[in-house]
Structure 1
């Protein structure tokens, strides 16, 4: 099992990459959902293209078994948890200007809204842990567990379900990401009040490089939302009178690394005044509520923009493709209706 120090080190590298790319700014994320600014999508495409290569090479070299994300079921059909959970993440992103990964960058950098969203995320983790028994009963009563296992064995990823070589899918993915970046390159992003340290594409490459470092250090891909569930479970146990096991887990240490790196970079490389301006889009009430919805959804979907969007899509997992599609569909709709 990877050490907590390795998790923390990997988190600092991932947090530094997110910070450098500028995708943590609430104004940037909200503008993305309004389809006014494509900085976030450009960075995700760069990160996804790089991560796909990294994950494929790590798997081929037997450095680590790159397990794809599995279908998450509420109890109706195999991917309903991915759809509902992904939609909840998208709604939370449009409301808060954060995602389950960038919220740790925001909080570390000192953005007021980020701190409130983080608090809401912890609340969402507690709510999810409390709801888990009911979700499990619903799954058992509908018999969806067995159907999810069947999907897991035969149709977990695009290459397996279509009978295509993973190398061919990787090559097609690289071409698609490059083509989409070319199409988006002509779209100028308006100023959102926060200066990124690098371009979105270079930021995506840095995020993909952080993915490689994470695999080397921890033998698993990046993911950030597990900490909400871990802390929520600890809080539930404390409320029940059981405080024997603390909240320090691998996921919590990874996210602590993100916050630490962001705090240092914000202090020395980004003016505090610019950081504060980017956070004025979100009120504390909306931040807490949106954070709770977002964190609950990320655990219901079994991943977030990092776990599904960067890592899961790099393995060509159907669950990740469904989750990310639901995120952006719900996020764009929510932004349009606000």
Structure 2
């Protein structure tokens, strides 16, 4: 076999790998699934009125708990889904988990504290958040497009001017920031996902 044939085979192999994610699911399937789940989530958010600014602000001061109940229900379903994924195909779960840890291995406790504080203040001031802004725009809520543009400007500012300065060093693998709750508790992921999933669903 010539060097040209070998090179072509390698390129074709790379293209085939690129068309699939690390867990073997093709990119189009992921895109379609994400769109359908996003539509379902947006529909439920709209019907429960969680996207309304007064609802968001009253949740932040613990005056009305509708928002946290809905999100706990969503988290519960997600955890039960992970439980089923681990049960039937743990290799996919481990692949996704490792990919997630790799993406956040430059984000330390300071970044998490500052990011959480900023989004909390932003939710109170704007009456919106990244999870509700698209539902607000779809519902024709006044000023929602201005809020969205402000969020986009903030993201661009961060990635253009701050990300390289704030995320220079990778965290050590033993860092508590990269450890998940099952690892810290010494409990298998499948058990904790089942317990918390059922608990959150029951509270919803």
Instruction: Answer yes or no: same fold by TM over 0.5.
Output: yes
- Does 2:85 align with 1:58? yes
Aligned equivalent of 1:21: 48
Residue in structure 2 matched with residue 94 of structure 1 by the alignment: 124
* 1:113 CA displacement: 2.5
Does 1:156 pair with 2:174? Answer: no
Measure the CA separation in 1 of the matches of 2:59 and 2:81: 27
Task: Give ranges in structure 2 of 5+ residues lacking alignment.
Answer: 1-25
Instruction: Tell me the CA shift for residue 41 of structure 1.
Output: 1.0
Q: Does 1:169 align with 2:192?
A: yes
RMSD of the alignment, in Å? 2.7
- Say if 1:5 and 1:162 are closer, same or farther in 2 by CA, change over 3 A: closer
Shift of 1:10: 3.1
Q: Counterparts of 1:96-111 in structure 2 under 5 Å?
A: 96-111=126-141
| Residue 82, structure 1, aligned to residue 115, structure 2 | no
Q: What count of residue pairs does the alignment treat as equivalent? A: 171
Structure 1 or 2, whichever has the larger Rg, is 2
2:7 is matched with which residue?
Answer: none
Which structure 1 segments of 5+ residues have no match?
Answer: 182-200, 202-338
CA separation of 1:11/1:168 partners in 2, compared to 1, >3 Å: closer, same or farther?
Answer: closer
Number of the residue aligned with 1:262: none
Residue 136 (structure 1) shift: 2.5
- 1:40 is matched with which residue? 67
Per the normalisation by structure 1, the TM-score is 0.45
Residues 163-242 of structure 1: pairs in structure 2 closer than 5 A: 163-174=186-197, 176-177=199-200, 181=203, 201=204
- Given that 1:155 and 1:161 are in contact with CA atoms closer than 8 Å, whether structure 2 keeps it comes out as no
* Counterparts of 2:155 and 2:50, CA distance in 1: 23
**Counterpart of 1:67 in 2: which secondary structure?**
helix
* Cα offset, 1:174, TM superposition: 4.0
Cα separation, 2, equivalents of 1:163 and 1:151:
16
1:136 to 164, 170, 176: 164
CA distance in 2, matches of 1:82, 1:161: 18
Q: Please give the alpha-carbon distance, in whole angstroms, between the structure 2 residues aligned to 1:8 and 1:90.
A: 27
Aligned-pair distance for 1:138? 4.4
> TM-score with structure 2 length normalisation?
0.71
Which residue in the other structure is 1:328 paired with? none
Contact kept? 1:72, 1:82, Cα under 8 Å: no
